[in-house]
Structure 1
């Protein structure tokens, strides 16, 4: 679907969507429409008891006095509490509504909203992003779809009187949308198509966007001593990979920000085999790597003024005769030894070497890792928030603020030396599981031993990387969660 920023001239075809805030008069475009309808819009609003509350939608078919076939008014709630994510959700909801009505072309009025913290022009840009995100589809493997099963909407124009500002903001936001699309595609791909080597190949293709991309194979990782990462993939016929993506948009002397992603392209659990029910979802166990890859594309596409590094560890966890066993002891790149007590606690083993490699080679300002790491985080937080763990309060607060601004929210959980006793091993420096209690915390505590004092945060996205249903701006199973969060973190704090 094509999304554009357009003038505030009333459209002559398709559907028109007006925005409304609670407790205020009609916004400028709605006023113009009401005049053209000889007060008909005001009468319809009154008759329907439409108050402009969040999620309210007024639908008027064949409105008199204007040329469009359908007129909608969507509520945004109170102006003072409106956030960009609220605009995006409203636009996404309306894209779904327009497709449901089999409408081919729509226009959304992106009026300035008095009393809101969102500037004129930015309103239109965020409405455009919501429409873009809502239009995502992963239909490449469907061969029998009928025309009426496909989206009808082909074009959305977001109208604004502040076109210059809106177009500038939209250029950046549409780049973020590209990153979200890529992350969703990666998570949604079937595991016979997306495996470590093919994932790495997709990353290499991003050199056309300005990224520098390196791929390390198993022999290179063996020389570096990455026994923790390599042990996970030794039961697979697919070769494990470590991909390094770099965006050099800052000054030469500026330390990079670093993002590290877990990329288990399929997770059977290994010898500690998972139950069969739901195992197909384990194609998405590379959601952290997908988010890092999408973020790196977003930064490059909008030419972010920052130096950034994305490192992803790509493995397939399979249970063949050569697979890692419970009871094995491996040596990580850091030199620390790990007793394997459960081969299904494999993501932390991948991240241990990826984190150590990142801090050792790049000396970054900070590291943030993303991983679909524990089922325990789903029990704690469901699908609404990701888990945040950090050894640095300033970084944690910056991430939480970026989450609120982007709509990708987190909840911070505790860490501390007391949890180390739960991962203490009788035979090695530590073991890879901590037992029944505090599962997400002990996983984070394990990772903290591989950061070497660099400011660090761990995001457990097992509840947010994919979803059981759908949301207005996230209609597919794979959500692309993390791209908007990390891009907002960079833009708010590290490009000034």
Structure 2
């Protein structure tokens, strides 16, 4: 679907969408439409008891006095509470509605909103963003689709008087949308198509956007001493990979920000085999790596003025005769030894070496890892927030603020010595599980042993990387969660 910024001229074809705020008079474009309809819009609002509440939609078919075939009003709620997420949700809601109505093209009026803490250009850009995110589809594997299963909407124009400024703002949002789309595609791909080597190949293709990409194979990782990561993949016929992506948009020799992603392209649990029911979802166990990849694309596409590094640990966790066993002891790149008590606690083993490699080679300003790490975080926070764990209050606060601004929210959970003691091993420096209690926290304690003092945060995205049902701006199973959060963090604090 093509989303563009257009002049504030009433369209003569297609559908027209008029945002409305609660408790105030009509916005300027809606006032002009009502005048052209000789008061017909206000009469329709009264008849439908439409007041502009968030989520309310008014549908006027074949309105008289204007050239469009359909007229919609969509509520934003009270003006003072209008934020970018609300604008995007409204636009996303309308994309689904327009496709259901078999509409082919639409225009959205982006009028200034008094009392809203957003410029008129930002209002237009976020309405466009909502439409773009809602238009995502992952349907390439269907060989036959009925006409009513295919989206009809091909063009959305966002009308604004601040066209020049809105176009610049939309260029940035459009670049971020590219990253979200890529992250969603990666999570949605089937595991016979997306495995460590093919994932790495997709990353290599991003050099066309200005990223520098390196791929380390198993022999190179063996020389580096990455026994923790390699142990996870030893039961698979697929070779494990370590991908390093660099964006150099900041000052020369300036320390980078670093993002590290868990990339288990399929997780059977290994010898500690998962139950069969729902195992197909484990194709998404590389959601952290997907988010890092999408973030790196977004930063490159919008030419971010920052040096950034993305490191992906890519493995497949399979239970063949050569697979890692409970009771094995592996030596990580850091030199620390790890007793394997459960082969399904594999993501932290991958991240242990990826984190150590990242801090050792790049000496980053901050280091953030993202991983679909524990089912326990889904029990604690559901699909609403990602779990945040950190040894740095400032970085935690920056992530929390970026989460509120981007709509990808986080919730900080505690860490400490009492939890760290739970991963003490009788036979090695540590064990890879801490028992039933505080499972997400003990996983974070494990990771913290491989950060070497670099300001660090861990985001457990097991509840947010994919979803049980569609949302207005996230219509697919894979959400692409994390791209917008990390982009906002960089834009607000590190450029």
The TM-score bracket by the shorter chain reads over 0.9
**Structure 2 counterpart SS, 1:348:** helix
Q: Deviations over 1:172-221 (max 9, x none)?
A: 00000000000000000000000000000000000000000000000000
Aligned match of 2:465: 465
Aligned match of 1:77: 77
> Comparing 81-90 with 426-435, which one deviates more in the overlay?
81-90
Aligned match of 1:437: 437
CA distance in 1: counterparts of 2:399 and 2:20, whole angstroms: 31
How far does residue 269 in structure 1 lie from its aligned partner after superposition?
Answer: 0.1
**Structure 2 counterpart SS, 1:203:** helix
Aligned match of 2:29: 29
How far does residue 254 in structure 1 lie from its aligned partner after superposition?
Answer: 1.5
Aligned match of 1:456: 456
Aligned match of 2:170: 170
Q: Deviations over 1:301-344 (max 9, x none)?
A: 00000000000000000000000000000000001000000000
CA distance in 2: counterparts of 1:353 and 1:38, whole angstroms: 69
**Structure 1 counterpart SS, 2:449:** helix
Aligned match of 2:224: 224
CA distance in 1: counterparts of 2:158 and 2:225, whole angstroms: 53
**Structure 2 counterpart SS, 1:76:** strand
How far does residue 127 in structure 1 lie from its aligned partner after superposition?
Answer: 0.4
Aligned match of 1:51: 51
CA distance in 1: counterparts of 2:434 and 2:90, whole angstroms: 43
TM-score (norm 1): 0.99
CA distance in 2: counterparts of 1:79 and 1:398, whole angstroms: 26
How far does residue 149 in structure 1 lie from its aligned partner after superposition?
Answer: 1.1
CA distance in 2: counterparts of 1:83 and 1:222, whole angstroms: 49
Aligned match of 1:86: 86
Q: Does 1:481 align with 2:481?
A: yes
Aligned match of 1:6: 6
CA distance in 1: counterparts of 2:253 and 2:264, whole angstroms: 34
How far does residue 51 in structure 1 lie from its aligned partner after superposition?
Answer: 1.2
- State the Cα RMSD in Å: 0.5
Matches within 5 A, 1:22-421: 22-421=22-421
Aligned match of 1:18: 18
Q: Deviations over 1:214-266 (max 9, x none)?
A: 00000000000000000000000000000000000000031100000000000
CA distance in 2: counterparts of 1:73 and 1:130, whole angstroms: 16
CA distance in 2: counterparts of 1:81 and 1:30, whole angstroms: 20
**Structure 2 counterpart SS, 1:373:** coil
How far does residue 83 in structure 1 lie from its aligned partner after superposition?
Answer: 1.1
**Structure 1 counterpart SS, 2:119:** coil
CA distance in 1: counterparts of 2:48 and 2:138, whole angstroms: 37
TM-score (norm 2): 1.00
User: Would you say how many aligned residue pairs link Structure 1 and Structure 2?
Assistant: 495
CA distance in 2: counterparts of 1:390 and 1:39, whole angstroms: 57
How far does residue 493 in structure 1 lie from its aligned partner after superposition?
Answer: 1.0
CA distance in 2: counterparts of 1:164 and 1:415, whole angstroms: 48
Q: Which runs of 5+ in 1 are unaligned?
A: none
CA distance in 1: counterparts of 2:110 and 2:258, whole angstroms: 35
**Structure 1 counterpart SS, 2:16:** strand
CA distance in 2: counterparts of 1:380 and 1:337, whole angstroms: 30
Q: Deviations over 1:87-117 (max 9, x none)?
A: 1111000000000100000110111111000
**Structure 2 counterpart SS, 1:66:** coil
How far does residue 288 in structure 1 lie from its aligned partner after superposition?
Answer: 0.1
Q: Deviations over 1:28-80 (max 9, x none)?
A: 11011011001111111122111111101111111110010110000001111
Q: Deviations over 1:117-174 (max 9, x none)?
A: 0111110000000000000000100011022210010000000000011000000000
**Structure 1 counterpart SS, 2:22:** coil
**Structure 2 counterpart SS, 1:296:** helix
> Comparing 44-53 with 222-231, which one deviates more in the overlay?
44-53
**Structure 2 counterpart SS, 1:344:** coil
How far does residue 418 in structure 1 lie from its aligned partner after superposition?
Answer: 1.0
CA distance in 2: counterparts of 1:37 and 1:224, whole angstroms: 72
Q: Which runs of 5+ in 2 are unaligned?
A: none
How far does residue 350 in structure 1 lie from its aligned partner after superposition?
Answer: 0.2
Q: Deviations over 1:405-442 (max 9, x none)?
A: 11111111000111111100000000000000000000
CA distance in 1: counterparts of 2:89 and 2:397, whole angstroms: 24
Q: Deviations over 1:265-294 (max 9, x none)?
A: 000000000000000000000000000000
**Structure 2 counterpart SS, 1:127:** helix
